[in-house]
Amino acid sequence: MNVDARSQPLVGFLSIGSAARWTSLVAAFRGGLNEVGYRDGENVRIEFRWAEGRDDRLPTLAADLVRNRVDLLVATGGPRSVLAAKAATSKTPIVFTLGADPVKLGVVATLGRPGANITGVTFITGQLNAKRLELLHTLVPGAVGIALLVNPDNPNSESVSKEVRDAAASLGLRVHVLRARTDLEIDNSFAALAGLQAGAIFVGSDGFFYNRRDRLVSLATRHAVPASFELREFVTAGGLMSYGASLEEIYRQAGIYTGRFSMAQDRAICRSCSPPSSSWCSTRILRRHLASPSRSRCSCARKR
C-alpha cells in the first residue's frame, strides 16, 4: 500500500551526468533501496538533478535540492558532485559515491568514522591504476609512450597523474598527460596522439568521460589506438578493455546506505566503505591477444 506522498522521505539525487546515460545506475540504486524496504513512489520519493556534464551547474543544483527540503541528499558522478553537496548543507544527511580518496579530498574525517552529516561508498582507484597500466602494457608491449587523458576540473586529476606516472616509470614507459574538459578538447587530445608517438591511451576515471563514453570509444577506434578504461560500461559501448570496480554494484550499495540513513536508528552505523572486488573486462580481440580460452564477447573475473 502506498504511503501518503507528504509523509514519504524525499531523497535528492545529484549527478554530474544525464538521465539518459545513467539509466542502469539509477536502476541499481533503486535496487539497493528495495533491498532495505524502500520503493520509489510507494514509501520514498526521489527528486533528480542532472548537471549534463557541466560541473559549474552542480552548486546551483545542490542548493536547489536543499531548498526543496530533501530528507537526504545523494551525490554521485565524481568529486565535484560530492563537494558541491557538502558545500550546500551541513545538516541534511549526504550519501556519496566516490572513485577517489574522500579523506584526501576533505570529504570525510576518516573512512571508518566519516563524521558530520556524510557517509558513502568509495571505490578508490589509485591501487588499481598501476594494474590497469600493466595490462595495457601487456597488450601493447612495443609502445614506449602512453597518453593519459584526465579532466583538469576533477580534483583527483593530479593524484591520478602521479599514480600513473609512478607506475609507468617502473615499466620503463613515458607518459604524456592530456587534459580535456569539453568535447572539443577530447577530440583535440586524440588528434595529438600521432604527434606524441603515443602507442596507447589510458583514460582516467571521470563523470564527464563516463557521460561521453560513446565518443571516447569512437575516437579510439577512428585513431586506431588501444585504449584502457576503468569501467566495463566502456567495453559494453565497444571499447577495448577495462579494469576497475563494478559501477552498478557501487550504486546498489549507495541505495542500501540511503535506505539505512533514512532510518534514524541506523544512522550511527553508516560508514564509508570500499566494495570488496574489482572486475576485469576485455573484448574478444584483447582476449585473443592474451590467449584467453573464453569465447564470450566480454570476459569478466572477480578479484577478491
Contacts of 87 (CB under 8 A, 6+ apart): 59, 62
pTM: 0.75
106-144: per-residue pLDDT in tens?
888 777 777 778 888 887 666 688 889 999 999 899 999
> Coil, helix or strand for 115?
coil
pLDDT of 285 higher than 50: no
60-108: per-residue pLDDT in tens?
999 999 999 999 999 998 889 999 999 999 999 999 998 778 888 888 8
pLDDT of 270 higher than 50: no
Domains of the chain: 5-123+246-273 (3.40.50.2300), 126-244+279-303 (3.40.50.2300)
Q: Pick 156 or 270 by higher pLDDT.
A: 156
C-alpha span between 139 and 225 (Å, rounded):
11
